[in-house]
């Protein structure tokens, strides 16, 4: 075996556009093709390298020295192109600049800091499920009334947002997640609202706009202590508003879709509601709500026989890695008995999702409430995707339920 080829060969080239509607709608066939083509492939359409196997995606995520985020984690190279908004201090930064904002947000969103929310969110979830069952009956759009409704009921309050304009949160996130991709029709469709939505979000990040007891206020308190500069605080709040809404909405939708299509797994959760957390992680592995991110090579890097040039963009297919048959047995199966840890749906390494405990708490509250009240859950119609360059997202998820007695 010649594992260490002295002269890097040119990798297999694939001409498909992963951001074309057909692949966003149904990404698995292209993911399979990319994984099978090789450990590193070339995407001719965008002049970037791509990784779809778990081993290489994982290795790239944990090697922030060779693969930076500061040049942007989308297709655009911030060293040559002006970003659509000031870069995120978390997502689009590298150590050492990344360290202080990361530490602050990690503390604000730590499991211990969330404990006081847990009981309240459970009650909200129980009330929501009860209201849906009485008001909607046995058939409803689980995307609208559960996956969208629940995070919007708990998260903006937890941040400390005011009551006005909350309907801007999802469109703003949708725009931000589209912006990581190429400037295609999805980005064009958002263009006319960029100014208005950005202005609203930026206004919400000011100290005066935030209540005194939320995540936002705690970020500002960190600035008062000198852990952040006053200029950094609003950008860290902006990260919460960008990364904290659409992700959980579509992540919860992924979990509901998984259960609606796997009745035996629903029965397993009903028998043991304490599986709600692992079920959510398995749903994140199985659907990968965040499908892709880019890195930029800081130097020439040889990976599995391919030389990635300094400055080159690398597209990581998180969703493909999360179903790599080399890493996962029966990778395409949603299965509560597996251990999904090691999935890259929340990333890995220094940037691994800092809000994952918030997401898990939301999921635990909603899934537990449902498991107690719903005996059967099934699709009542064809689910519809909403297309986004980065998020595997939903437009509707019609379900039929049989309430437990
Ligand atoms: C994706 O603005 C940000 O800091 C930010 C935006 C999007 C994400 C993360 C952070 C991964 C969920």
Q: Which two tokens stand for residue 383?
A: 């689910």
User: What does the pLDDT read at residue 1?
Assistant: 43
Whether the pLDDT of residue 6 is over 60: the answer is no
Asked if 178 and 76 count as a contact pair (C-beta separation under 8 A), the reply is no
Residue 2 pLDDT grade (very low, low, confident, very high; cuts 50, 70, 90) = very low
Distance CA 104, CA 222 (A): 7
Residue holding tokens 């709500």?
289
Tell me, yes or no, whether 5 lies in a domain.
Answer: no
Whether the pLDDT of residue 7 is over 80: the answer is no
Domain total in the chain: 1
Q: How far is the CA of 239 from the centre of ligand 1 (A)?
A: 6
- 132-171: per-residue pLDDT in tens? 999 999 999 999 999 999 999 999 999 999 999 999 999 9
Tell me, yes or no, whether 399 lies in a domain.
Answer: yes
Tell me, yes or no, whether 33 lies in a domain.
Answer: yes
- 43-101: per-residue pLDDT in tens? 999 999 999 999 999 999 999 999 999 999 999 999 999 999 999 999 999 999 999 99
Q: How far is the CA of 392 from the centre of ligand 1 (A)?
A: 15
Q: Which residues line ligand 1 (CB under 6 A)?
A: 88, 90-91, 176, 239, 242-243, 247, 290
Domain around 346: 13-403
- 301-336: per-residue pLDDT in tens? 999 999 999 999 999 999 999 999 999 999 999 999
User: What does the pLDDT read at residue 9?
Assistant: 73
* Apex 77 CA angle, 60 and 54, nearest 5: 20
Distance CA 343, CA 323 (A): 9
Tell me, yes or no, whether 277 lies in a domain.
Answer: yes
Q: How far is the CA of 145 from the centre of ligand 1 (A)?
A: 25
Pocket test for ligand 1, best of 105, 159, 239 (most atoms within 8 A of CB): 239
Tell me, yes or no, whether 150 lies in a domain.
Answer: yes
Residue 405 pLDDT grade (very low, low, confident, very high; cuts 50, 70, 90) = confident
Average pLDDT, the chain: 97
What CATH number is attached to the domain comprising 211?
1.10.630.10
Percentage of the chain beyond pLDDT 70 is: 98
Residue 398 pLDDT grade (very low, low, confident, very high; cuts 50, 70, 90) = very high
- How big, in percent rounded to 5, are the helix, strand and coil portions of the chain? 50, 15, 40
pTM, to two decimals: 0.97
Tell me, yes or no, whether 2 lies in a domain.
Answer: no
């Amino acid at each position: 075996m010649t594992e260490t080829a002295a002269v890097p060969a040119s990798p297999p080239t694939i001409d498909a556009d992963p951001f074309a509607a057909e692949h966003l709608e149904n990404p698995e066939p292209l993911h399979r093709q990319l994984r099978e083509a090789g450990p590193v492939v070339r995407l001719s359409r965008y002049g970037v390298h791509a990784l779809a196997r778990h081993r290489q995606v994982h290795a790239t995520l944990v090697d922030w020295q060779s693969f930076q985020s500061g040049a942007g984690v989308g297709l655009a190279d911030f060293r040559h192109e002006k970003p659509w908004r000031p870069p995120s201090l978390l997502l689009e930064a590298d150590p050492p600049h990344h360290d202080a904002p990361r530490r602050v947000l990690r503390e604000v969103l730590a499991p211990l800091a969330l404990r006081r929310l847990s009981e309240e969110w459970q009650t909200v979830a129980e009330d929501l499920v009860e209201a849906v069952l009485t008001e909607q009956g046995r058939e409803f759009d689980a995307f609208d009334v559960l996956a969208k409704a629940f995070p919007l009921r708990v998260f903006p309050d937890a941040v400390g947002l005011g009551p006005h304009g909350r309907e801007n949160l999802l469109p703003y996130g949708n725009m931000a997640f589209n912006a990581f991709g190429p400037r295609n029709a999805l980005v064009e469709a958002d263009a006319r609202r960029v100014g208005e939505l950005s202005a609203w979000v930026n206004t919400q990040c000011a100290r005066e706009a935030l209540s005194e007891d939320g995540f936002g206020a705690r970020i500002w308190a960190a600035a008062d202590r000198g852990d952040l500069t006053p200029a950094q605080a609003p950008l860290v709040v902006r990260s919460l508003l960008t990364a904290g809404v659409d992700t959980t909405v579509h992540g919860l939708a992924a979990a509901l879709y998984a259960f609606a299509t796997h009745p035996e797994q629903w029965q397993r959760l009903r028998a043991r509601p304490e599986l709600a957390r692992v079920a959510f992680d398995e749903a994140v592995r199985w659907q990968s709500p965040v499908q892709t991110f880019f890195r930029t090579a800081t130097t020439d890097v040889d990976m599995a026989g391919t030389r990635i040039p300094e400055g080159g963009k690398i597209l990581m297919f998180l969703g493909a890695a999360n179903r790599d048959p080399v890493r996962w047995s029966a990778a395409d199966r949603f299965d509560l008995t597996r251990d999904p840890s090691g999935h890259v749906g929340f990333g890995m390494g220094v940037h691994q999702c800092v809000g994952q405990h918030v997401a898990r708490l939301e999921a635990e509250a909603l899934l537990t409430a449902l498991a107690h009240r719903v005996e059967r859950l099934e699709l009542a119609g064809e689910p519809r995707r909403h297309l986004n360059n980065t998020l595997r997202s939903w437009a509707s998820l019609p379900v039929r339920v049989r309430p437990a007695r």
